Amino acid sequence: MNDLSVKHLISINDLETNDLNTIFKTAESFKEIINRPIKKVPTLRDITIANLFFENSTRTKLSFELAEKRLSADVINFSASSSSVKKGETLIDTTNNILSMKVDLVVMRHPHPGAANHIVNNTNTSVINAGDGTHEHPTQAILDCFSIREKFGELKGLKVAIIGDIKHSRVALSNIYALKKLGAEVMVCGPTTLIPKYIHHLGVKVEHNLTNALKWCDVANMLRIQLERQEIQYFPSIREYTRQYGLNMQIISELSKEITILHPGPINRGVEITSEVADSSRSLILDQVENGVAVRMAIIYLLAGRLNRA
Amino acid sequence: MNSTEILNSLQVSLTLRRLCFQLIENHDDFTDTVIVGLQPNGIYLANRIKKELELITNQSVVTGALDITFFRDDFRRKEKPLIPSVTNIDFTIENKVVVLVDDVFFTGRTIRSGLDAIMTFGRPKSVEFLTLIERRFTQHLPIRADYIGQSIDTINEERVSVQWKEVHGKDQILLYSPNENE
């Protein structure tokens, strides 16, 4: 009951609802700990964790590193731009070389969907997926749900709209899986070109009008346009996207209820969300960042507890 | 397992009262003292001590709960990772006398973790330890209790169960011993 049902965190789809609740409960304790004068616990002092970042990251990388250090784990960092990957080394070779240095757990971000799973299948380490291409970003989804749960008490019956570039967003897919497991209703909203054709098979509503989506939801999770993953142009211009899907105070003030705003970052201020909304009391954006450390501490703690066990 | 009663309901309440008077002797009006129960079982004892002290002294006594899960020395040596309980310390311990409270003092490893955990909240003036049942000659560490309800001699295979009126319906302390043919 208390143990996670998985040895790795690759996809939210692999988790049971109980696992999510165990992570939330553990994260609550870690949140209390990181608000103490001394924010560190000695739990993982015999564990070494490698952060393998084959793709750029600010928040996730810092958040994982801080989580690991606050658990007293030894941490080694790797980023593709300054490594032998540029000299032609394969992913498995790079990982196995790092594992030979007696690393216990790997946190990996990679531009290719399925990369984390590839490591699980070809090495014998425990892996946490910190984002694999357009596939999944499970820790982000868990911290988003944790932040919503903190505000509303529970997710069951809540209406959550995920708005923006659904097609290229790993945050969207992980969030859909997590929210559905926890009993929330989910809607995706964005231009037709940025919504995968068969997404309704995941049990989500599809909407193309921002105002309609906002009228429906209790929580709006605003996503960035992932221009770096768009091989063709999906909409005429950023200006036009902003006019149709940008969240500003005027739209919010016309709603008859108060909605809560999430954003996984990085924010493109003035594109998908205005500064006024992002910095308002409706926004949980900075809570998400704080909760990110606590949630990642919980995930690492629970997975590390399974190391060297059957 | 056979069970033997170590303390009955009346004896528990007499023991609690004696422990409280011992605390009062050393802590005057409790303005510089805080009582901290160790989760999960020490909190019931801490709450009882608080109640009793407030009844005797007519002063309010600051009490908190401390979880020690992440400070334990047996991580990855257990079958399952431990899920923490709530820590509730909404006061400062800086320059205070902290009385750590746990129901049973067995190996001393829990109280060792408690000492580390409490220090993350600041630097107390001193730390004392109160326990209801001390199992003699079983400590693994050089730690001793300052206030002891009852000392008992046990063997490792035996188990002490502290039961509280508010949880189990009756105050009672039992010793479970293995049957001879177990």
pLDDT of residue A91: 86
pLDDT of residue A201: 95
* Rounded (10°) angle between helices A170-181 and A138-152: 50
Size of interface A-B (CB pairs under 8 A): 62
Interface test with A, best of B66, B70, B95, B109 (most A CBs within 10 A): B70
> Could you tell me if residue A235 is inside a domain?
yes
The answer to whether residues A163 and A249 belong to one domain is: yes
Using one digit for the tens of pLDDT, what is the confidence trace for A15-69? 999 999 999 999 999 999 999 999 999 999 989 999 999 988 888 999 999 999 9
The two structure tokens encoding residue A286: 């900075």
The two structure tokens encoding residue A86: 């540029």
The answer to whether residues A223 and A96 belong to one domain is: no
pLDDT at A291 over 90: yes
The answer to whether residues A269 and A143 belong to one domain is: yes
Q: Tell the residue number behind the tokens 């005027």, with chain if given.
A: A250
Q: Are A223 and A264 in contact (CB under 8 A)?
A: yes
CATH code of the domain containing A24: 3.40.50.1370
A74-79: strand order across its sheet: A74-79, A48-53, A105-110, A126-132
Active site residues of A: 59-60, 87, 109, 137
pLDDT at A309 over 80: no
pLDDT of residue A175: 97
Contact at CB, B120 and A41, closer than 8 angstroms = yes
The answer to whether residues A132 and A151 belong to one domain is: no
Candidate from A121-125, A147-151, A287-291, B169-173 with smallest mean pLDDT = A121-125
Per-residue confidence at A84, pLDDT binned at 50, 70, 90?
low
The answer to whether residues A58 and A130 belong to one domain is: yes
- Considering only CB atoms, B81 lies closest to which of A28, A40, A301, namely A301
Residues 6-65 of A with CB under 8 A from B: 22, 25-26, 28-29, 32-33, 36-44, 46
SS (H, E, C) A64-117: HHHHHHHCCCEEEEEEHHHCHHHHCCCHHHHHHHHHCCCCCEEEEEECCCCHHH
The answer to whether residues A92 and A154 belong to one domain is: no
Greater confidence (B182 vs B53) lies with B53
Q: Establish whether the linkage from the previous residue to B40 is cis, with ω within 30° of 0.
A: yes
Mean pLDDT computed over A153-178: 95
| Beta carbons within 8 Å of A66's beta carbon, 6+ residues apart | A293
Q: Which residues of B touch A44 (CB under 8 A)?
A: 75
Q: Are A146 and A192 in contact (CB under 8 A)?
A: no
Dihedral sign for Cα atoms in the order B84, B169, B52, B152: negative
The two structure tokens encoding residue B134: 């001390």
B10: amino acid identity, one letter: L
Contact at CB, B119 and A38, closer than 8 angstroms = yes
Distance (Å) of CA A263 to CA A145, A161, A242, A277? 12, 12, 16, 11
C-alpha to C-alpha distance for A68 and A41, rounded to whole angstroms? 10
- Considering only CB atoms, B76 lies closest to which of A22, A71, A307, namely A307
> Could you tell me if residue A180 is inside a domain?
yes
pLDDT at B126 over 70: yes
In this predicted complex, what is the ipTM?
0.82
Contact at CB, A26 and B84, closer than 8 angstroms = yes
Q: How far is A283 from chain B (nearest CA, A)?
A: 27
The answer to whether residues A226 and A113 belong to one domain is: no
Using one digit for the tens of pLDDT, what is the confidence trace for B35-89? 999 999 999 999 999 999 999 999 999 999 999 999 999 888 877 778 889 999 9
> Could you tell me if residue A207 is inside a domain?
yes
pLDDT of residue B44: 96
Q: Which residues pair with A126 in a beta bridge?
A: A105
C-alpha to C-alpha distance for A161 and A142, rounded to whole angstroms? 16
Mean pLDDT computed over A242-259: 93
> Could you tell me if residue A310 is inside a domain?
no
Using one digit for the tens of pLDDT, what is the confidence trace for A170-227? 999 999 999 999 999 999 999 999 999 999 999 999 999 999 999 999 999 999 988 7
Question: What is the pLDDT of chain B when averaged over all its residues?
Answer: 93
Contact at CB, A305 and B75, closer than 8 angstroms = yes
Where would I find the beta strands (DSSP E) of chain B? 2-7, 33-38, 62-66, 97-105, 126-136, 147-153, 159-163, 172-177
C-alpha to C-alpha distance for A267 and A247, rounded to whole angstroms? 12
pLDDT of residue A59: 87
Interface test with B, best of A1, A5, A26, A34 (most B CBs within 10 A): A26
The answer to whether residues A42 and A160 belong to one domain is: no
pLDDT of residue A310: 41
Using one digit for the tens of pLDDT, what is the confidence trace for A86-136? 677 888 888 888 888 889 999 999 999 999 999 999 888 899 999 999 999
pLDDT of residue B182: 59
The two structure tokens encoding residue A69: 């250090």
Q: Which residues of A touch B85 (CB under 8 A)?
A: 29
Asked if A304 is an interface residue toward chain B (Cβ–Cβ < 8 A), one would say yes
> Could you tell me if residue A1 is inside a domain?
no
Q: How far is B81 from chain A (nearest CA, A)?
A: 5
Return the biggest CA–CA distance within chain A: 59
DSSP chain A: --S-S-SSBS-GGGS-HHHHHHHHHHHHHHHHHTTSSS----TTTT-EEEEEESS--SHHHHHHHHHHHHTT-EEEEEEGGGSGGGGT--HHHHHHHHHTTT--EEEEEESSTTHHHHHHHHS-SEEEEEEETTS--HHHHHHHHHHHHHHHS--TT-EEEEES--TT-HHHHHHHHHHHHTT-EEEEES-GGGS-TTGGGGT-EEE--HHHHHHH-SEEEE----GGG-SS--SS-HHHHHHHH-B-HHHHHTSSS--EEE--S---BTTTB-HHHHTSTTB-HHHHHHHHHHHHHHHHHHHHTTTT--
The answer to whether residues A162 and A52 belong to one domain is: no
The answer to whether residues A133 and A143 belong to one domain is: no
pLDDT at B166 over 80: yes
The answer to whether residues A21 and A73 belong to one domain is: yes
Domain extent at residue A116: 12-137+289-304
Q: What class is the B9-73+82-156 domain? A: alpha beta
Q: Reduced to 3 states, what is the DSSP secondary structure of residue B22?
A: helix
Q: Are A169 and A213 in contact (CB under 8 A)?
A: no
Q: Which residues of B touch A41 (CB under 8 A)?
A: 70-71, 120
The answer to whether residues A114 and A17 belong to one domain is: yes
C-alpha to C-alpha distance for A159 and A255, rounded to whole angstroms? 15
Structural domain count of chain A = 2
Q: Which residues of A touch B119 (CB under 8 A)?
A: 38
Q: Sort residue A105 into left (φ over 0), alpha (ψ -120 to 50) or beta.
A: beta
pLDDT of residue A233: 84
> Could you tell me if residue A121 is inside a domain?
yes
Contact at CB, B80 and A3, closer than 8 angstroms = yes
